[in-house]
Structure 1
Amino acid sequence: MTLTRRLVLMVAACIALAILAISLVFGVLGRQALIAQAEGQAQAVARIVAESARLTEISLEEMRNVLLDDLATLAFAIANTNESEGSDIGTRLAEIVARGNLASIWLVDGDLRVLAHSIGDYGAVIEGETLPPALPAEALAALTSGRRFSLALGGPLDGIQYVGVRVAGGRALIAGQPVTVLAPVRAANSLPVLLAALLDRDEIQSIRVFDDTQGLLAEVGTALPPAEVKDIAVATIAGTAPASALRPDHLLVAAPIRDTAGITIGATVIALSTARLDRMLADYLLYGAGAAGLVFAIGVAAASVFAGRIARPVAAMTRAAREIDGRSFDPASLDRLARQGDELGTLARVFQHMAIEVQAREEHLEALVRARTLELEQKNALLEASKRRVEAELDAARSLQAAILPQALPAHPSYAGKATMVPARELGGDFYDFFAIDERHLGIVIADVSGKGVPAAFFMAISRTVLQSSARESRSAGACLAAANTLLCAQNPMDLFVTTFYGILDTETGDLAYANGGHNPPLVIRRADGTVADLPRTSGMALGVMPDMPYAEKRLRLDPGDTLFLYTDGISEAMDGEGREFGEARLRETLAGTEARAVDLVIEGVTAAVGHFVAGAEQSDDITCLVIRYIGPR
């Protein structure tokens, strides 16, 4: 992805995240604003309810006072009318009651005996007629005694309010008015009427009013779960603070009702429709999406313009870097960018200077490389010539070394033999030898010189010559090795040594006299049973280490058909790719069962087994072996 696209996407993503965050913030704020508005409405309704209740009580109290005053005035007027006796007074009182919408009128004397009553034509007094017993006796006594001119006789009794007026002669007139006359006023100022007037305003669905004991005083509007409404009302009364609860289809808001002293005396619960909240959220989403699209388009356009201005210098620098890699860069191509005074201009100037230095250094290095290449080609030619010369000399030395070693045993009817030597390098340090000491005895030698290469090959030639010379001068195997050791110690400037096995075979009897100078003991393969065993060991140090060393000698009788296998450690210590050695035990297994094979097949079997074991691993030492089979006396 190009830098321009990354910048555009980055700016667009930042704008989108900012718009999303703003929309979420506005949504949360709008929700909180609606809830706060609903709580304000609930508080306003609670204040209206409290004030309405207070005004209703005041109105009813004032109307009651007016009613009492009217009754007192009416009673006073009746008391001062022309007095009549008997049924005339009762008839007059009955007419007044009928015309004045009164309940009843009583005329009593000082002993509170009924003198007249508004019972119409049934006479002034009915026998046994008495005042309602609940009228306060003290108030009546105050009227009849003349201490009060008029007096309200307590609260309503059975829905009737009584008022008394003093009448001359120690009498009193009592008038009763039904309190139902205040019902229209009470109904006009009741809570349900007031609450019903508030419904369907500002999405109000229902209103519930509770007192301080959680009792329901009034309710209007749609029905709601009682437990849900009562829980929020109880919480508001207990906490004396507005509370709200959002439901899937409505919003419940509760506000406390306080009296003039600020004491909570109840709660108002309002259910508001969530349609307004839904419309507001939809508007926020709509306007937010529109604003987001507009701002996003403007931001992408602006980002594209500024990203292009930012990315063009970077693209120019990238193109210049490619041109430097392709050896086609022209420093003048960045002159316009280098004239800028900002960081990109500084980068372009540094890049120009660096590119010029790099080009100069490349040209200098190329010149040096060409010179060094020419020198190397000349030296390589000399090395190739030297290598060819060394290889030719090594080939000649290898041919000479191969010519030094005998190719076949002397022809003799008493024995047959075969030998091989595979050097690890061009020249080897192993050698073998067999020579006739006289007509009856055969000398057998196998040796391994320490080290490899040319020094080992030279020391091998010297050792072979010394051993042959010593063997021809003495018929004892131990004495031969002792004499050869002394001579080699005197002619060993490189401190090399050679492990040697020397044996003398009597062709008439099969006796083998031998001495060992630190070499691997040869193996004997018996024709009779095919067993493979080491020759008994003799003590002796490798030749060339220390002069004047004695070498012990032992003898072994070879029966006709027995085979003597002599080898160097290049066979037993041959290693495969994992570093495991071929070993003497595996060599014995390979030789087992070869007692009847020809001697050349025995050598081929051993070398093939070693080659299969190493499986292509690099040869670490010379591989040399010698096989001699005793046939028997002539």
Structure 2
Amino acid sequence: MTLTSRLVVMVASCIAFAIIVVSVVFGLLGRNALISQAEAQATVVARIIAESARLSEVALEEAQEVVTDVLTTTALTADHVEQSSLPDLSDRFAEIVARGNLDAIWLIDSNLRILASSVGDYDAVISGQRLPEHLSPEALQALVSGRRFSVDFGPAVDGVRYVGVRAGKGHAVIVGQPVAVLDAVRAANSVPVLMEALLDRNDIISIEVRDDQQKSLGQVGAEKTPPDLADLAADVVASGNPASELHGRHLWVAAPIRDTAGIVIGSVTIEMSGQRLEELLNNLLLYGIGAAALVFAVGAGIAALSARRIARPVAAMTEAAHAMEARSFETGSLDTVARRTDEVGTLARVFQAMAVEVQRREEDLEAQVRARTLELEQKNELLEASARRVEAELQAAKTLQAAMLPTALPPNPAYAGTAAMVPAREMGGDFYDFFSLDDKRLGIVIADVSGKGVPAAFFMAISRTVLQASAQDGGTPGVCLARANAALCARNPMELFVTAFYGILDVETGELAYANGGHNPPLMIRRADGDVVELPRTGGMALGVLPDMPYAEKSAMLRAGDTLFLYTDGISEAMDGEGREFGEGRIEETLRSAALLPVDRVLTAVTGAVSAFVAGAPQSDDITCLVVRYFGPPAEALAS
């Protein structure tokens, strides 16, 4: 995407995003405003319900007082009815009851006996007729005795309320009125009627009133409060503040109901439609997206014009950079941009100066590179010639080193042997030797110089010469190693050392006397059982480390057919690609399987096993081994 396109998209997207964010914010604010309005409306409804309930109670109390006054008036009226005879009086009572919607009228004497009642044209008193038991006898006595003019016998019993008045000396009239006459007043002033009147106004769907113990006192509307919103009314009672919650597509609002003292005595829960909230949010989002799209289009056009003007010099700088990379830049190509007085003009002028400097330096560098290349080519030719000379010299030294080592044991029917040395580099530090000390004794040497390469090869030559000279001077193997150690310590400027094993084989007896200077102990293959055993160790130190060191000696008896195998650590420590060593165990296992083979086949069996084990891994050390088989005294060997 080009810089112009990025500028256009960035500017227009930022403006559109800002408009959408503003629309969402205003939508949320409008939603919160509607919810606050709903909570305020619920608070008003709670106040209306509380006031309505209070006024209903007042109205009922006043209506009750009116009923009591009417009953008293009726009783007085009944008292003034002409008392011609008791049956006629009963008929008049019956007419009054029928017209006044009363329950009963009784005329009693001082003994509280009924003299007349509203039984129509029956006898004055029906047999067994009595006053209601809940009428207080004390109050009745007060009436008939004249101590009280009228008595209200209290709350209704069985739906009837009773009032009594004095009716002359020793008499009283009792009138009963059904309280059902107040049902119309109660119904007209009841809270449910008011709640019904509030439905379908301001999106109210249902209303439920609860007391402070969360007992439902009344509910109108199609839906009851869901069980998972029961805590909403309890929280309102506890906090005294309105609360709301969206549930599905409806808004539920709860507000506290307070008495005249301001104490919370219950709550009202109102279910309202959430359609207005959804319409508000949808409209704001719709208008916001439309405005964002319009602004995006206008902003993209304006940004495109501005971006092209801004990006044109940047594009010229980009082309100049490509031309600089292709080495075809012309300084005058940026003159138009360089004349600008803003930051881009400054950048163009700096770029022009830098380009001139870079071109000049490139020319200087190219000239220096050509000179250095010619010089390096000449030196490389000299190095190659020197390398060829060194390689030839190393090859000659390798040939000379190989020629130093004997290729075969001195001829004798009492023994046979062979040896091999494979250096890790052009020249190695391992060596072996065997030589006749006299007609009956054979000297056997195997050694390993520390280090590799040319220094080790030179020290190897010195060590071989010193050891051979010491052996020729006579003496036991330990004495010979001690003389050789003293000579090497005296001539060892590079502080190298050599491990060595020196043995003397008596061909007539088969005794092998030996001393070991820190070398791997040789192995002996017994002809009798094919077992492979290690020669006992003598514990000597490597040669060239410390002067005046003694070297202990030991001996072993070889029987006819026994084989000696001497080796350096290049065999036991040969490693495969995973870093595992060949080890003494594999050497012994290979020798057991090759015990009856000729000596040259024994040597090739071991070296072949090592090659198969390392499987092409780089050789880490010189590989040297020597095999000697004893056939018995010369006379027995010739006879066999």
C-alpha change, 1:384 and 1:245, in structure 2 (3 Å) is closer
The letter of the residue matching 1:440 is K
Give the structure 1 partner of residue 489 of structure 2.
489
Q: Which moved more, 1:421-430 or 1:242-251?
A: 242-251
Once residues 12 and 535 of structure 1 are traced to their aligned partners in structure 2, the CA distance between those partners, rounded to angstroms, is 93
Once residues 36 and 464 of structure 1 are traced to their aligned partners in structure 2, the CA distance between those partners, rounded to angstroms, is 109
RMSD: 5.2
The answer as to 2:538 corresponding to 1:538 is yes
The answer as to 2:476 corresponding to 1:476 is yes
Equivalences for residues 124-273 of structure 1 within 5 A: none
Deviation of 1:388 (Å): 0.5
Instruction: Say whether the 8 Å CA contact 1:515–1:554 is kept in structure 2.
Output: yes
Deviation of 1:577 (Å): 3.9
C-alpha change, 1:514 and 1:280, in structure 2 (3 Å) is closer
Give the structure 2 partner of residue 360 of structure 1.
360
Deviation of 1:391 (Å): 0.5
Give the structure 1 partner of residue 428 of structure 2.
428
C-alpha change, 1:19 and 1:547, in structure 2 (3 Å) is closer
Q: Deviations over 1:13-68 (max 9, x none)?
A: 2222233245446667878999999999xx9xxxxxxxxxxxxxxxxxxxxxxxxx
Equivalences for residues 295-374 of structure 1 within 5 A: 295-374=295-374
Once residues 37 and 493 of structure 2 are traced to their aligned partners in structure 1, the CA distance between those partners, rounded to angstroms, is 116
Give the structure 1 partner of residue 502 of structure 2.
502
Give the structure 2 partner of residue 238 of structure 1.
none
Instruction: Say whether the 8 Å CA contact 1:530–1:594 is kept in structure 2.
Output: no
Give the structure 2 partner of residue 553 of structure 1.
553
Give the structure 2 partner of residue 129 of structure 1.
none
Q: Deviations over 1:536-577 (max 9, x none)?
A: 222433333344443333221101111000111222233334
C-alpha change, 1:514 and 1:250, in structure 2 (3 Å) is closer
Once residues 445 and 243 of structure 2 are traced to their aligned partners in structure 1, the CA distance between those partners, rounded to angstroms, is 118
Q: Deviations over 1:129-154 (max 9, x none)?
A: xxxxxxxxxxxxxxxxxxxxxxxxxx
Deviation of 1:283 (Å): 7.5
Instruction: Say whether the 8 Å CA contact 2:28–2:281 is kept in structure 1.
Output: no
The letter of the residue matching 1:426 is E
Q: Which moved more, 1:462-471 or 1:334-343?
A: 462-471
Once residues 10 and 512 of structure 1 are traced to their aligned partners in structure 2, the CA distance between those partners, rounded to angstroms, is 96
Equivalences for residues 342-421 of structure 1 within 5 A: 342-421=342-421
Q: Which has the larger radius of gyration?
A: 1
Instruction: Say whether the 8 Å CA contact 1:418–1:599 is kept in structure 2.
Output: yes
The letter of the residue matching 2:587 is L
Once residues 552 and 32 of structure 1 are traced to their aligned partners in structure 2, the CA distance between those partners, rounded to angstroms, is 105
Instruction: Say whether the 8 Å CA contact 1:416–1:628 is kept in structure 2.
Output: yes
Q: Which moved more, 1:479-488 or 1:447-456?
A: 479-488
Q: Which moved more, 1:377-386 or 1:468-477?
A: 468-477
Q: Which moved more, 1:535-544 or 1:562-571?
A: 535-544
Once residues 493 and 36 of structure 1 are traced to their aligned partners in structure 2, the CA distance between those partners, rounded to angstroms, is 102
Equivalences for residues 505-520 of structure 1 within 5 A: 505-520=505-520
Gaps of 5+ in 1: 44-202, 207-222, 229-240, 255-270
Once residues 614 and 15 of structure 1 are traced to their aligned partners in structure 2, the CA distance between those partners, rounded to angstroms, is 72
The letter of the residue matching 2:550 is P
Once residues 507 and 434 of structure 1 are traced to their aligned partners in structure 2, the CA distance between those partners, rounded to angstroms, is 14
Once residues 252 and 480 of structure 2 are traced to their aligned partners in structure 1, the CA distance between those partners, rounded to angstroms, is 125
Indicate the SS of the match to 1:551: coil
Q: Which moved more, 1:513-522 or 1:541-550?
A: 541-550
C-alpha change, 1:540 and 1:20, in structure 2 (3 Å) is closer
C-alpha change, 1:355 and 1:552, in structure 2 (3 Å) is same
C-alpha change, 1:280 and 1:426, in structure 2 (3 Å) is closer
Once residues 221 and 275 of structure 2 are traced to their aligned partners in structure 1, the CA distance between those partners, rounded to angstroms, is 17
Deviation of 1:597 (Å): 1.4
The letter of the residue matching 1:591 is L
Instruction: Say whether the 8 Å CA contact 1:463–1:488 is kept in structure 2.
Output: yes
Give the structure 1 partner of residue 563 of structure 2.
563
C-alpha change, 1:624 and 1:24, in structure 2 (3 Å) is closer
Give the structure 1 partner of residue 525 of structure 2.
525
Instruction: Say whether the 8 Å CA contact 1:204–1:273 is kept in structure 2.
Output: no
Instruction: Say whether the 8 Å CA contact 1:561–1:595 is kept in structure 2.
Output: no
C-alpha change, 1:534 and 1:297, in structure 2 (3 Å) is same
The letter of the residue matching 1:493 is P
The number of aligned residues is: 464
The letter of the residue matching 2:604 is E
Q: Deviations over 1:202-223 (max 9, x none)?
A: x9999xxxxxxxxxxxxxxxx9
Give the structure 2 partner of residue 294 of structure 1.
294
The letter of the residue matching 1:499 is T
Q: Deviations over 1:413-466 (max 9, x none)?
A: 221111000112111111111122223222211112222222222222222223
Once residues 537 and 274 of structure 1 are traced to their aligned partners in structure 2, the CA distance between those partners, rounded to angstroms, is 102
TM-score, with structure 1 as normaliser: 0.60
The letter of the residue matching 2:586 is R
C-alpha change, 1:339 and 1:417, in structure 2 (3 Å) is same
Instruction: Say whether the 8 Å CA contact 1:251–1:274 is kept in structure 2.
Output: no
The letter of the residue matching 2:327 is R
Instruction: Say whether the 8 Å CA contact 2:20–2:285 is kept in structure 1.
Output: no
